[in-house]
C-alpha cells in the first residue's frame, strides 16, 4: 500500500505591518495567549507619556484596545499571570511613582496600584521590567537619589502591597536593564552603571531571593573597561539554569555584541559567540528569548554604514542554537518614498505554537515620527510574500547577503469571494526564469487543486464546491503567498 503525505493545513500569513499613530508611538512588549497576541504600546499623549494595550489576532488585526493615560510603560512591563494582565510603568503626572494596572483578557481594567519610595529619598523612578514567579511580582529599573542613578527593585505580594524595596548601594549611576526568573526561582538582574569618572563595576549579573537579598554575583571579564554609557547588558536565564547574556568588548566602537553562556554554579564560560569586527557594522540587542527547542532568539537593530546596501538602523532578528551556532540573521529594511531606508528597531519577539515568530517595535516615518511595527515570519525569519497595504521592505539575509523585496508589486488573487469557482492569479514581477506553481487546500488540509503558472496573469477555472480554501503560491518550490479564498455558489 502506498501512502501519500499531505502537508498539514497552515493558515499562516507572514507580514510586515506598520500601525501609524497620531503621535509618536512604539510597540514595546509582545506576549501571546489563545491564538492571539497582546502588545503594550508607549506613546505620547497631550501633556505626558502614556500607553495602551492592544490585542491582535495572528494576522495582525486588532481585536480590542485599552488606553492608560497615566501610565508610561517601560520596555518590558507587560505580564500575563493566571488569566490577568499586569501593565506596569511610571505614573504620570507624578514624582518617584510607579504604577501597576490589572486588566482582564478582554481589555477591561480591574484596578490601579501606585507605589512610591518608602524612604522618601528618590526624586524620580523608571520602571523597566515587570516579572513574576507566580507568587511574587517584581519590578525593576532606575531611581535617582541626589541626582545619582541607582539600580532599583521592588517586590509586591499577591494583595498588590509593596513587600520589599531595594536600592543599589554598591555603585552610583547604576540601572537594572534586564531581569528574569529562572528554574532556581531567584530574581536574576542584569545591572550596568550609567556613567562614571573611573573604571568600576561597569556590568554585573546578580541573583536575589524573594526578600531581595543578594545571593550570587558575576562580573564579565572585561567589566572594568570603559565601554560608553550606551552599551547595555541584556540576557536571560535558560531552562537548564545557565545564563546567556550579551556584552561588548573593549575597543570595539562599532558596538558588535558578543554572546556568552555561563554555568550558573561554577560561573565558568560554556561557550562564546564573536562577530567578525568589520568597520561600521553595528548590532544592538534589546531582547533575548529562549525558544521551545532550546534555541535563542535575539531582537534589536542592525546597521552598516560602509557597504551596500547602506543601512543606518533597521529592525533585526537573529537565531542561534543552544551551543552558540548562528542559524540565521536578518535585517528588515523598510524603504521611504525616496528609496532610502527608514530607521527602526524590534523591541521584543516571541515564538508562536507552530514555530512562527512575531516581533514588535517601530520604524520612523518620513517626518521621523515613530510608527509601531508588527512582523510575523516563519521559523527561519522569512517573509516570503507581499500582503495588502504592505510597505516596500528589503529582507536582507546577513549570512548570505541575499536581498528579498516585499511590498508594492504584490501578487493578487481575485475575485474573492468567487461565485463561479474561477480565480485569477496576477504576479506583477513575473520572471520567466522562475518556476511558479500553486495549490488550493481545504480546511482539513487536503489539496483539492494545483498546478503550474506560465504567465504573468493566469485565469483558472476550478471546479470546486463552495467553502473556505487556502491558496498557496510557490516560487521555485518556496511559498511566496498564502491567502484565504472563498467560493460561494
Question: In sequence order, what DSSP letters do the residues of 218-281 get, joined into one string?
Answer: E--TTTTS---TT----EEE-TTS-EEEEE--TT-TT---EEEEE-TTT--EEEEEE----TTE
**Residue 466 is assigned to a structural domain of this protein:** yes
Closest CA to 378 of 1, 6, 15: 15
Question: Is the Cα torsion angle 402, 403, 409, 410 positive or negative in sign?
Answer: positive
In sequence order, the 6+-apart residues with CB closer than 8 A to the CB of 47 are 93
**Residue 120 is assigned to a structural domain of this protein:** no
**Residue 439 is assigned to a structural domain of this protein:** yes
**Beta-carbon neighbour count of residue 446 at 10 Å?**
10
Question: In sequence order, what DSSP letters do the residues of 330-378 get, joined into one string?
Answer: EEEEEB-TTSPBPPEEEEEEEE-TTS-EEEEEEEE-TTS-EEEEEEEE-
Q: What is the CATH number of the domain that holds 477?
A: 2.60.40.10
- Measure the CA–CA gap between 287 and 349, rounded to whole angstroms: 8
**Residue 24 is assigned to a structural domain of this protein:** no
Closest CA to 154 of 113, 105, 202: 113
Closest CA to 13 of 413, 427, 460, 341: 413
Tally of structural domains, the chain: 1
Closest CA to 192 of 207, 202, 184: 202
Sheet with strand 311-320: strands edge to edge: 281-290, 296-304, 311-320, 326-334, 393-397, 403-406
Question: What grid cell was written down for 216?
Answer: 550570587
- Measure the CA–CA gap between 108 and 306, rounded to whole angstroms: 49
**What residue numbers bound the domain in which 435 lies?**
412-487
Find out whether 166 and 208 touch, Cβ atoms under 8 Å: yes
Question: What average pLDDT values come out for the chain (489 residues) when binned by 10 residues?
Answer: 38 82 94 94 90 94 95 94 95 86 97 83 83 92 83 92 84 83 94 62 85 91 57 86 83 67 94 80 90 97 79 94 95 86 95 96 92 95 71 88 75 82 84 90 84 90 87 80 80
- Measure the CA–CA gap between 129 and 112, rounded to whole angstroms: 17
**Residue 435 is assigned to a structural domain of this protein:** yes
- Measure the CA–CA gap between 261 and 267, rounded to whole angstroms: 9
**Residue 471 is assigned to a structural domain of this protein:** yes
Phi first, then psi: give them for residue 266, nearest 5 degrees.
-85, -15
Place of cell 460561494: 488
**Residue 474 is assigned to a structural domain of this protein:** yes
Find out whether 448 and 464 touch, Cβ atoms under 8 Å: yes
**Residue 428 is assigned to a structural domain of this protein:** yes
Amino acid at each position: 500500500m502506498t501512502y501519500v503525505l499531505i502537508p498539514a493545513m497552515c493558515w499562516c500569513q507572514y507580514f510586515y505591518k506598520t500601525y501609524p499613530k497620531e503621535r509618536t508611538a512604539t510597540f514595546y512588549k509582545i506576549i501571546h495567549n489563545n491564538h492571539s497576541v497582546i502588545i503594550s504600546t508607549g506613546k505620547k499623549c497631550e501633556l505626558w507619556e502614556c500607553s495602551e494595550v492592544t490585542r491582535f489576532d495572528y494576522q495582525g488585526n486588532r481585536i480590542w484596545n485599552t488606553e492608560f493615560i497615566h501610565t508610561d510603560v517601560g520596555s518590558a512591563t507587560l505580564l500575563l499571570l493566571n488569566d490577568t494582565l499586569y501593565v506596569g510603568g511610571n505614573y504620570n503626572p507624578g514624582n518617584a511613582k510607579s504604577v501597576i494596572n490589572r486588566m482582564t483578557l478582554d481589555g477591561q481594567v480591574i484596578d490601579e496600584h501606585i507605589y512610591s519610595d518608602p524612604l522618601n529619598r528618590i526624586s524620580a523612578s523608571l520602571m523597566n521590567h515587570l516579572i513574576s514567579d507566580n507568587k511574587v511580582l517584581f519590578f525593576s529599573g532606575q531611581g535617582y537619589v541626589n541626582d545619582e542613578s541607582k539600580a532599583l527593585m521592588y517586590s509586591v505580594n499577591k494583595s498588590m502591597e509593596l513587600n520589599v524595596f531595594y536600592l543599589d548601594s554598591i555603585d552610583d549611576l547604576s540601572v537594572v536593564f534586564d531581569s528574569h526568573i529562572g528554574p532556581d526561582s531567584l530574581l536574576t538582574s542584569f545591572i550596568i552603571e550609567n556613567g562614571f569618572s573611573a573604571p568600576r563595576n561597569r556590568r554585573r549579573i546578580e541573583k536575589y531571593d524573594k526578600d531581595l537579598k543578594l545571593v550570587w554575583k558575576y562580573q564579565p571579564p572585561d567589566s572594568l573597561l570603559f565601554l560608553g554609557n550606551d552599551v547595555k547588558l541584556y540576557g536571560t536565564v535558560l531552562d537548564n539554569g545557565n545564563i546567556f547574556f550579551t556584552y561588548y568588548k573593549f575597543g570595539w566602537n562599532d558596538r558588535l555584541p558578543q554572546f556568552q553562556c555561563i554555568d550558573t554554579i561554577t560561573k565558568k564560560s560554556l561557550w562564546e559567540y564573536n562577530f567578525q569586527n568589520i568597520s561600521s557594522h553595528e548590532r544592538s540587542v534589546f531582547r533575548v528569548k529562549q525558544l521551545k527547542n532550546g534555541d535563542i532568539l535575539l531582537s534589536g537593530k542592525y546597521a552598516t554604514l560602509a557597504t551596500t546596501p547602506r543601512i543606518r538602523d533597521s529592525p533585526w532578528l537573529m537565531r542561534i542554537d543552544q551551543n552558540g551556532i548562528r542559524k540565521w540573521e536578518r535585517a528588515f529594511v523598510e524603504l521611504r518614498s525616496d528609496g532610502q531606508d527608514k530607521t527602526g528597531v524590534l523591541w521584543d519577539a516571541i515564538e508562536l505554537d507552530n514555530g512562527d515568530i512575531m516581533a514588535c517595535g517601530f520604524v520612523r516615518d518620513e517626518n521621523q515620527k515613530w510608527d509601531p511595527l508588527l512582523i510575523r515570519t516563519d521559523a527561519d525569519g522569512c517573509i516570503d510574500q507581499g500582503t495588502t497595504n504592505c510597505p516596500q521592505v528589503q529582507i536582507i539575509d546577513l549570512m548570505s547577503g541575499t536581498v528579498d523585496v516585499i511590498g508594492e508589486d504584490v501578487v493578487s488573487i481575485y475575485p474573492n469571494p468567487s461565485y463561479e469557482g474561477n480565480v485569477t492569479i496576477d504576479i506583477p514581477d513575473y520572471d520567466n526564469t522562475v518556476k511558479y506553481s500553486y495549490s488550493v487546500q481545504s480546511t482539513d488540509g487536503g489539496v483539492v487543486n494545483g498546478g503550474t503558472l506560465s504567465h504573468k496573469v493566469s485565469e483558472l477555472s476550478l471546479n470546486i464546491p463552495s467553502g473556505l480554501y487556502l491558496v498557496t503560491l510557490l516560487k521555485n518550490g518556496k511559498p511566496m503567498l498564502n491567502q484565504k479564498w472563498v467560493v460561494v455558489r
